[in-house]
């Protein structure tokens, strides 16, 4: 199992490095740089979508008349959830408590306006960058406490989740934007 995990990490790093090299003139020199640049890619897409939705639509969630949407998060809840999970994952990588009160993986109840939610998300990515910059060749496979249960996991696994998780919700946010007649920034000419 450990060999499989290492092989997957190496494959992910190779894929990420290729994507980063294709976008940047100077190739990344460390795993830390690769993770940090890929976090920037996720951040750019995600924050762009968060900023594109008008404030009055932050409470939008598709109705059940549109399909199987019972109990889904609103647009604003999608953004807050990703931000809260960013903090949870980054703090686990760093081995410290989150720098803000999260109220669980759905984020604090007192953050409600678009401006507050977007700031919360931007700040979470800033903290994620701090975590990504903490990687060395020596500590990536060290086990740390998972924020999601009693198990331990590698810093690398948590880093990959910081990169992938926003894209899960970005896909949902794109649908919400399009249902409201808004072309996502990444799709604009």
Average predicted confidence (pLDDT) for the chain:
88
pLDDT for 8 beyond 80: no
Percent with pLDDT over 90 in the chain:
74
Read off the pLDDT of residues 71-110 as tens digits, 9 standing for 90 and up: 899 999 999 999 999 999 999 999 999 999 999 999 999 9
Out of 9-23, 82-96, 112-126, which region has the weakest mean confidence (pLDDT)?
Answer: 9-23
Read off the pLDDT of residues 41-60 as tens digits, 9 standing for 90 and up: 999 999 999 999 999 999 99
Cβ-based neighbour number of residue 87 at 10 Å: 26
pLDDT for 188 beyond 90: no
Q: How confident is the model at residue 1 (pLDDT cuts 50, 70, 90)?
A: very low
- Say which CATH class 30-187 falls into: mainly alpha
Q: Which of the pair, 135 or 84, is modelled with greater confidence?
A: 84
Q: DSSP readout, 91-134? A: HHHHTS--SS---STT--TT--SHHHHHHHHHHHHHHHHHHHTT
Beta-carbon-side half-sphere exposure of residue 135 (alpha carbons within 13 Å)? 25
Confidence at residue 23, expressed as pLDDT on a 0 to 100 scale: 55
């Amino acid at each position: 199992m450990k060999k499989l995990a290492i092989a997957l990490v190496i494959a992910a790093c190779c894929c990420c490095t290729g994507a980063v090299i294709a976008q940047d003139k100077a190739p990344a020199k460390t795993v830390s740089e690769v993770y940090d640049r890929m976090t920037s890619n996720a951040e750019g897409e995600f924050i762009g979508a968060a900023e594109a939705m008008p404030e009055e639509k932050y409470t939008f969630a598709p109705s059940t008349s549109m399909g199987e949407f019972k109990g889904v998060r609103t647009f604003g809840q999608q953004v807050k959830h990703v931000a809260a999970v960013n903090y949870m994952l980054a703090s686990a990588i760093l081995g410290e408590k989150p720098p803000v009160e999260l109220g669980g993986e759905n984020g604090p109840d007192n953050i409600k306006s678009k401006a507050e939610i977007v700031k919360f998300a931007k700040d979470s990515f800033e903290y994620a960058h701090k975590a990504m910059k903490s990687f060395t060749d020596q500590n990536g496979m060290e086990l740390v406490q998972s924020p999601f249960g009693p198990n331990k996991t590698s810093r690398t696994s948590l880093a990959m989740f910081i990169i992938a998780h926003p894209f899960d919700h970005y896909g949902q946010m794109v649908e919400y934007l399009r249902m409201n007649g808004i072309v996502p920034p990444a799709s604009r000419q």
